[in-house]
Structure 1
Amino acid sequence: MTFFKTALYYGALVSLLLTSFVSHANPPKEIFWEDLIPKNHVQIDTQAQANHEGSDQNWIQPDLDAPVVKELDGQSVSLPGFVVPLEGDSEVITEFLLVPYFGACIHVPPPPPNQIVHVTIKGGVPIDSLYDAIVVTGVISTQAWSGEIAQVGYKMKAVGVAPFEL
């Protein structure tokens, strides 16, 4: 990791820690991908069905009407996932899609919109490897977003990004 990337990474980490310290009375809620699916909704398992062979049908994003969990709107949360970069440069990214598994939207069709989060982070953050899972902390909204790659059910204004550790 270059000095610049290291400095930015630790700067983002310090920012996350300070934000957590200042908002100690209301720390971010740790959520996971299943928490983005309403309780009574039967979700289509797209990861198991995705493949690189066959018709173009395999590359179409499924369940475009997949509902979101309205109660999450405006909450401070932490969510692990993988990055699909959208905006940035060779040092940092400022906009990306957070997806539940590696390769979603790049090597395999996108998951349903309620399984993708459009993330923006002021100042950007270095991402060393798209193969590695991260945890994003910020305020989530149920505002939809649509881009060339996929339709998205959630947006997040991130305040921090850190490596995901079990």
Structure 2
Amino acid sequence: MHLSRRKLITTAAAVAALPRSGFARAAREIQWQDLIPPGVPYSKIIGEGEIDAIADTWLPEFDENATKLNKKLDGAYIKMPGYMLPIDLTTKGVTSFLMVPYAGACVHTPPPPANQLVYVETKKPWPSDRLWDAVWVTGQLRHELQSTTLADIGYSMTADLIETYEWE
């Protein structure tokens, strides 16, 4: 089959004019350790800290490594697992939350370091009767170091998709 130059250019222009929403955007699957910059071991983001014997809790010490973010992930379209700590909850469900690496983080224990927390907003609320489910969150990850009364947070994202994490 031979395509003329004119037909090839016309076909290419037609394909270029197609709406981009018709094409699925593949997300890069990452894990929590990927949020730490290459070369910084997890053991270097949390110091020894101290034990609060009265409250029976460990109070970790964070140094500058706790706020170091993985530059390669800024703007990346990713999919990662985690747990929700609701921030905004309506009758329709959760519309913003902190995604944390383990159940109970920030609630029953001191918060993880900033580079282990992701602030997530979603247009499609997550059902409030499924708050304790482990989830997969897909969206564009951004560097956004922010300090809140709850914790210091290193990343943010707008969720395109939230799914229940299926254990294999």
TM-score grouping bracket, smaller chain normalisation: 0.7 to 0.9
Q: 1:84-141 CA deviation, whole Å, 9 max, x = no partner?
A: 0001224311110000000100001111111110001124222423332001111100
Give TM-score, length-normalised by structure 1. Answer: 0.74
Aligned ranges 1:80-159 → 2 under 5 Å: 80-159=81-160
* Structure 2, unpaired ranges of 5+: 1-20
Look up the match of 1:41.
40
Q: Name the SS of the counterpart of 2:92 in structure 1.
A: coil
Segments of 4+ moved more than 4 angstroms? 49-53
* Structure 1, unpaired ranges of 5+: 1-20
Q: Name the SS of the counterpart of 2:156 in structure 1.
A: strand
Look up the match of 1:30.
29
Q: Name the SS of the counterpart of 1:105 in structure 2.
A: coil
Aligned ranges 1:48-87 → 2 under 5 Å: 54=53, 58-59=58-59, 62-63=62-63, 65-66=65-66, 67-87=68-88
Look up the match of 2:16.
none
Q: Name the SS of the counterpart of 2:129 in structure 1.
A: coil
RMSD value over aligned CA atoms? 2.9
Cα shift at 1:55: 5.8
Look up the match of 1:10.
none
More strand by share: 2
Q: 1:64-88 CA deviation, whole Å, 9 max, x = no partner?
A: 6421101111111111000000012
Q: How far apart are the structure 2 equivalents of 1:92 and 1:63?
A: 36
Give TM-score, length-normalised by structure 2. Answer: 0.73
Q: Name the SS of the counterpart of 1:124 in structure 2.
A: strand
